[in-house]
Amino acid sequence: MKILVTGGSGYIGSHTCVELLNSGYEVVVMDNLCNSSEESLNRVKQITGKDLAFYKADITDRDAFKKIFSEHKIDAVIHFAGLKAVGESCEKPIEYYFNNVAGTVIMCDEMRKAGVKNIVFSSSATVYGKPKTVPIKEDFPLSTTNPYGATKLMIENILTDIHTADKEWNVILLRYFNPIGAHESGLIGEDPNGIPNNLLPYVSKVAIGQLPFVNVWGNDYETKDGTGVRDYIHVVDLAVGHIRAVEKLKENPGRKVYNLGTGNGYSVLEIIENFSKACGKDVPYKIAPRRPGDIDVCYADASLAKEELGWEAKFGIDKMCEDLWRWQSKNPNGYK
Ligand code: NAD
Ligand code: WQD
């Protein structure tokens, strides 16, 4: 089977390419490199000893899809391409709606023309808004609080409508919790531009000495130690979830949605403590005011993915921190 991976040179995409190639799939990557480097794909080839096809192209470019679909017989698309920074999406809503939503509509139109009607989409736990209870199940009410989250929910709805109108489409929506860590080779990992927004890349930059301390955004939440609790999941576990989803597509499942998380919640302070252990030094932090829009607690009920995909997260927080530290210390400046 040949899989088109949009956004395949990015953080989750590159790890998924490794798992696809190792599972015997052929891989075609399409990425405009707006938030990644082609070097990640060289590393994917190095890890797997296998080749893949790469197109530097934008998902809003119809001709690029026409070229790819004419040169390859694609069986399914894994759609990672998108902009993902919550704060930036509030400043640049037009860019986010255009890139993520319009880009996806253009892609689906070109997929339809080429007769490619199987898709796995990167959604996010952000579509649950502020959940009333945890663990979160797939049938919980959906809402969003920022343009980024809104693009994810809109795309879920668009893909659902496409399936409703044409039952030949198989649509699997994967709602990721908080992906962290890196491939255990230390060759690929997350390489954010500028100062990271997310906790783990920030903590690892403090540990390596590029930032002075971690701001802990609030210690007055309704949680075990007052700091925010999240469901951190190893990026390799997440990548394997995509292989299971592609396997599911072969059964013509229609439209499905799955949480990909571990079901465990860790607080910010627990993460700092675990990371300090992994890197063998104290990571300095300061308590700071809450970050607007943050919620207290978020973790998954991932039992549906276990039941229907035969998937469950294998790696614990120790390995997530160790693998991230290996990537960060071997590549202090990312792919540069
Ligand atoms: P990433 O930025 O590393 O990867 C996204 C890739 O898409 C990048 O390589 C970027 O260059 C590419 N891209 C963006 N716009 C494009 C366009 N118009 N045309 C072609 N390529 C384009 O991000 P990631 O963390 O790997 O996330 C992958 C997907 O998973 C995204 O859709 C993201 O919203 C979603 N997601 C991420 C997280 C997370 O915390 N990392 C959580 C939930 C969902
Ligand atoms: C985790 C915890 C912060 C940074 C975001 C998106 C979500 C999804 C994943 C894509 C929170 C605290 C953080 C820091 C801190 N992305 N924190 N100091 O907010 O759960 O989710 O990324 O879909 O949509 O909203 O992840 O890593 O930013 O924060 O104290 O410097 O760490 O307050 O409790 P979040 P995060």
Helices 199-207 and 268-279: crossing angle in degrees, nearest 10, is 40
Q: Answer yes or no: is the C-beta of 331 below 6 A from any ligand 2 atom.
A: no
For ligand 1, the distance from its centroid to the CA atom of residue 121, given in whole angstroms, is 11
Residue 156: nearest ligand to its CA?
1
CB 89 within 8 A of CB 129: no
Residues forming the active site: 148
Question: Atom 33 of ligand 2 has which residue's CA nearest to it?
Answer: 217
Who lines ligand 1 at CB under 6 A? 7, 9-13, 31-36, 58-60, 80-84, 99, 103, 122, 124, 176, 178-179
Residue 192: nearest ligand to its CA?
1
Residue 196: nearest ligand to its CA?
2
Q: Tens of pLDDT along the chain (336 residues)?
A: 999 999 999 999 999 999 999 999 999 999 999 999 999 999 999 999 999 999 999 999 999 999 999 999 999 999 999 999 999 999 999 999 999 999 999 999 999 999 999 999 999 999 999 999 999 999 999 999 999 999 999 999 999 999 999 999 999 999 999 999 999 999 999 999 999 999 999 999 999 999 999 999 999 999 999 999 999 999 999 999 999 999 999 999 999 999 999 999 999 999 999 999 999 999 999 999 999 999 999 999 999 999 999 999 999 999 999 999 999 999 999 999
DSSP 128: B
Q: Answer yes or no: is the C-beta of 126 below 6 A from any ligand 2 atom.
A: yes
196 Cα nearest atom in ligand 2: 31
Q: What's the pTM?
A: 0.99
> How far is 50 from 72, CA to CA, in rounded Å?
17
Written as one string, the DSSP assignment of 268-312 is HHHHHHHHHHHHTS---EEEEPPPTT--SEE-B--HHHHHHH---
178 Cα nearest atom in ligand 2: 9
